[in-house]
Amino acid sequence: MISNKKAVRIAGVLFLLQMTAAVISHEVILSPLLGGSAFLADVAAQATEVKIAILFDLVCGASVFGIAVLLFPILKQHSERIALWYVGLRLGELFAWVAAGTVLLILLSTGQQFVQAGMPESSHFEVLGKALRSGRNSTVDLNLIVYCLSASTFYYLLFRSKLIPRFLSVWGLLAVLLLFTEVMLIIFTKTFRMWMMMPMGLNELVLGIWLIVKGFNTTATTARSTIQ
């Protein structure tokens, strides 16, 4: 059985792992591929990179769910109800990542068929490809919404339990609010502001390192809270 101290450190590693995987998948691989007008041909030409992105998506999903499972025995000491909600929401993120990867796999197959057909103009391949790209974006947006819910639940419980310094919890809660605002802007206005996402990413980077180096407050860990 994994000790609480070791579980927290592994969770810290998973925070850093899922962040790294997400950056590689979305910023390094997928954004350049899916952003152009010839994205179907680009996807087909870089099938290996697309499959790597799918793999990193699955790593993200497995990592976030693993964090919740590892920390559940500790978090439930302070509120079992909130801890269960956190596990459930992280499981929702895992499903969203799987769905995003599935859509991307179908998009890859469509791109390959498009190329094999001689890349005909104004074909049903392009219509289907645009629909799949839109579906992939919608899945990512849904994933971000679920993430905002899980992160707000997590940081609220950390704030109440004092398992980490409160400035980190407050930072996390404010960053979640900023991120949620950005997600709504993306959905309803199609505008994107990277700076609104950066505080959340930086917070999770600091949190991951903190959990690896410092862990949870042992005094708070050993004392049950009365949160309900």
Give pLDDT tens digits for 62-86: 999 999 999 999 999 999 999 999 9
- Residue 183 amino acid letter: V
Two tokens at 71? 């920390």
pLDDT at residue number 1: 59
pLDDT at residue number 99: 92
Burial of 1 (0-12, 13-18, 19+ CB in 10 A): exposed
pLDDT at residue number 121: 77
pLDDT at residue number 218: 73
State the chain's maximal CA–CA distance in angstroms.
67
- Residue 171 amino acid letter: W
pTM of the prediction?
0.88
Residues 6 or more apart whose CB falls under 8 angstroms from that of 100 comprise: 57, 136, 139, 140, 143
Residues of the chain predicted below pLDDT 50 = 225-228
8 A C-beta contact, residue 151 and residue 166: no
pLDDT at residue number 222: 56
pLDDT at residue number 228: 41
Two tokens at 45? 């030409």
Please state, for a pLDDT cut of 70, what percent of the chain lies above it: 95
pLDDT at residue number 180: 94
How many residues does the structure list for the chain? 228
DSSP state at residue 77: T
pLDDT at residue number 223: 53
The rounded distance, in Å, linking the Cα atoms of 125 and 128 is 5
